[in-house]
Amino acid sequence: MPDFDVVVLGGGTSGSLIAAEVSRAGRSTALVEAGLVGGEAPYLADMASKSLLQSARRGETWEHAVARRDEVAGHLDDTAAAAQLAEAGVTLIRGTGRITGPGTVVVQPNPGKDSRSGPAAAAPLTLRYQDLVVCTGSEPVAPPVEGLADVPAWTSAEALTCPDLPRRLVVLGAGPVGCELAQIYAAFGSQVTLIEAEPHVLPGEAQFTGEILGDALRRTGVDLRLGSAVVKAETTDEGLALTLADGTRIEADRVLLASGRRPRLSGLGLEELGITAGPGEMLPLDEHCRVVPNAPGKAVPNAPVKTVPNAPGKAAPSAQAKGAAAGTKATGRVWAAGDVTAVAPYTHTARYQARIIAANLLGSTRAADYRAIPRTVYTSPSVYTVGMSPSLAAATGVDLITVSYDLAETARAQVEDDDRGRVELYADAGSGDILVGAAAIGPDAEEWMGEVTLAIRARIPLAVLTDVVHAFPTYGEAVGTPLRGLAQRSAGGGVAAGGGVAAGGGGPEDASPEAAGVAGPGTAAGADGSPGPGANGSVGADAEAGTGGDAGSAAGQASGALPSRKPGRTAHRGPRPGDHPTVTQPLRGADE
């Protein structure tokens, strides 16, 4: 029975990083991978979707875009990733791992996967570990709809590896994945219907982001159906039909399931260690990314950004849990990183947690701080949100001071002739000298919102932030002006509360809070004046939670409509049914 210091279950983004780092530092390390070394991001998710979005922006044909996508995804060949692990000294074992008791994992060989590089377990193989790291990622969940299992359906991974361009595609779920894929397929000529049970796109995020993105999706040709869930699916002679709760019937050739994912926990044998999280639940995790034994899992909230797992000691130990004491023995330290933890399920979160676990395994004591994990949607325009959202503030009783600024007011928007977008910055009225959250939508928002992320994470005082000089002409100037408004407001600058007024006549250098669209505290839904978790300036781990009420009544969102500098503009002609199969509708400047 091979003995290892560290066994990593799952060799995706987080697992590969941890295994390589601790192995390079001299720990004997085995990594068990059931599929592709590297996981979802390089082959089946992030890179493939970003490649297709870029092809759409360039106006490439579908055939060209698919060829480029497959090239970017390495033709699903993980040889190079496996070689990097070998170079780091990691023992790669291909197969499906299952915990069989404290300190032991059994790997079952996967039939048909033997041709991949690296050793495959020919027969079940038992490994012993001192430390176990669970990095098994997440899996898509289909909504419980009558008949849905019987109609032609895609997961996002299937959609991003298939060469097909359906004539009529229905996308279920208008979260980040649903919006990106809806825009991709619509841009290449599919007749796309995007269905979301919530009343707006990107539920859980600041409402203005969903409103502006919804308009952009419509201009790409997407038919948006908001606020009504699918209740029935059936096959028809020509494909399939979905019935919505409001009675609407939608016909299509294929359904794409993008309505949610859950941590991949089933079949792992965690109960052998006294860890009771089941399918659809989050692992109980402490701030060091260590799994807390004997604490039951918590339901994964149905939101694009998940709550941070409960702190240790909140739940009573389960007397029935097998091996209840095992999780605390020397052979039983269990850690978890990436989507399986349900903390802000992004590749950058998986990498962050991986670095924390690697450091802790190598003798340091590092705690995760989730206050400023970016949440991104790479559509055109793109969406970047970070830290506290209005819906989280409403759910937790935090009074937000909100300032907003339309990108249309920047000189860069005039230069680019692309004025779609807006920025909102949030301070906690209880400790208004720092930023606690931000939301932006606009061209390449992910590239110019980094400073806000740093400001939230490092709790940089507003007085310092307002002294930062932004280059002219950049979209980054859209951050500078509202920051000055926020600083004035939080310093008691006498701005009337409840504004939410979008920037009017002020240019980028107009520092007045009115120009920056300042809204006072107390207008967020559910705000009761209580200090809430942010009262001491720290929003704590729960800042990443995306659950809670409708963000619609949050301060500063009254003017969330798409700003229009050019009222005379005609709407983009999206693809029509007869266009199929067709040449891409370029996304950038698609509303010209």
Q: Rule CB under 6 A: which residues touch ligand FAD?
A: 9-15, 32-36, 39-41, 45-46, 49-50, 96-97, 135-137, 156, 177, 264, 268, 338-340, 345-348, 350, 378
Q: Which is nearer to ligand FAD, 37 or 403 (CB)?
A: 37
The distance of closest approach from Cβ of residue 20 to ligand FAD in the complex, given in angstroms and rounded to an integer, is: 13
Alpha-carbon distance 332 to 317, whole Å? 17
Cis (ω within 30 of 0) for the bond into 381?
yes
The distance of closest approach from Cβ of residue 44 to ligand FAD in the complex, given in angstroms and rounded to an integer, is: 7
Alpha-carbon distance 367 to 311, whole Å? 13
The distance of closest approach from Cβ of residue 535 to ligand FAD in the complex, given in angstroms and rounded to an integer, is: 31
Alpha-carbon distance 44 to 158, whole Å? 8
The distance of closest approach from Cβ of residue 261 to ligand FAD in the complex, given in angstroms and rounded to an integer, is: 7
The distance of closest approach from Cβ of residue 184 to ligand FAD in the complex, given in angstroms and rounded to an integer, is: 10
What are phi and psi for residue 587, nearest 5 degrees?
-80, -40
The distance of closest approach from Cβ of residue 269 to ligand FAD in the complex, given in angstroms and rounded to an integer, is: 9
Note whether 422 and 206 are within 8 A (CB): no
Q: Which is nearer to ligand FAD, 175 or 556 (CB)?
A: 175
Q: Which is nearer to ligand FAD, 495 or 543 (CB)?
A: 543
Alpha-carbon distance 19 to 92, whole Å? 10
What are phi and psi for residue 241, nearest 5 degrees?
-135, 140
The distance of closest approach from Cβ of residue 97 to ligand FAD in the complex, given in angstroms and rounded to an integer, is: 4
Please give the residue whose beta carbon sits closest to ligand FAD in the complex.
Answer: 12
The residue among 215, 61, 284, 90 whose CA lies nearest residue 562 is 215
Note whether 287 and 370 are within 8 A (CB): no
Q: At residue 366, what is the residue type?
A: R
Q: At residue 45, what is the residue type?
A: A
Q: Which is nearer to ligand FAD, 181 or 401 (CB)?
A: 181
Q: Which is nearer to ligand FAD, 40 or 477 (CB)?
A: 40
Q: Which is nearer to ligand FAD, 19 or 495 (CB)?
A: 19
| Helix segments in 329-372, DSSP class H | 347-361
Alpha-carbon distance 7 to 432, whole Å? 45
The distance of closest approach from Cβ of residue 485 to ligand FAD in the complex, given in angstroms and rounded to an integer, is: 31
Counts for the chain of helices (H) and strands (E), in that order: 15, 25
Q: At residue 484, what is the residue type?
A: R
The residue among 46, 49, 85, 52 whose CA lies nearest residue 66 is 52
Q: Which is nearer to ligand FAD, 21 or 40 (CB)?
A: 40
Structure tokens at 118: 């690296």
The distance of closest approach from Cβ of residue 258 to ligand FAD in the complex, given in angstroms and rounded to an integer, is: 8
Q: What are the angstrom distances between the C-alpha of 348 and each of 14, 46, 355, 370, 394?
A: 9, 11, 11, 11, 27
Alpha-carbon distance 84 to 321, whole Å? 39
Determine whether 128 is exposed, middle or buried from the number of CB atoms within 10 Å of its CB (0-12, 13-18, 19+). middle
Note whether 26 and 90 are within 8 A (CB): no
Q: Which is nearer to ligand FAD, 521 or 546 (CB)?
A: 546
Alpha-carbon distance 327 to 333, whole Å? 6
The distance of closest approach from Cβ of residue 189 to ligand FAD in the complex, given in angstroms and rounded to an integer, is: 20
Q: Which is nearer to ligand FAD, 340 or 372 (CB)?
A: 340
Alpha-carbon distance 386 to 187, whole Å? 28
Place of tokens 């600041």: 206
Q: What DSSP letter does each residue of 378-434 carry, written as one string?
A: -SSSEEEEEE--HHHHHHHT--EEEEEEEGGGSHHHHHHT----EEEEEEEGGGTTS
Q: Which is nearer to ligand FAD, 275 or 562 (CB)?
A: 275
Q: Which is nearer to ligand FAD, 14 or 55 (CB)?
A: 14
The distance of closest approach from Cβ of residue 85 to ligand FAD in the complex, given in angstroms and rounded to an integer, is: 13
Q: Which is nearer to ligand FAD, 23 or 156 (CB)?
A: 156
Q: Which is nearer to ligand FAD, 97 or 327 (CB)?
A: 97
Alpha-carbon distance 518 to 506, whole Å? 13
The distance of closest approach from Cβ of residue 411 to ligand FAD in the complex, given in angstroms and rounded to an integer, is: 30
Count Cα neighbours of 299 within 13 Å in the Cβ-side half-sphere.
Answer: 4
What are phi and psi for residue 265, nearest 5 degrees?
-120, -20
The distance of closest approach from Cβ of residue 39 to ligand FAD in the complex, given in angstroms and rounded to an integer, is: 2
User: Beta strand 400-406 with 382-387: parallel, antiparallel or unpaired?
Assistant: unpaired
Count of positions (residues) in the chain: 592
Structure tokens at 381: 């325009």
The distance of closest approach from Cβ of residue 33 to ligand FAD in the complex, given in angstroms and rounded to an integer, is: 5
Q: Which is nearer to ligand FAD, 224 or 383 (CB)?
A: 383
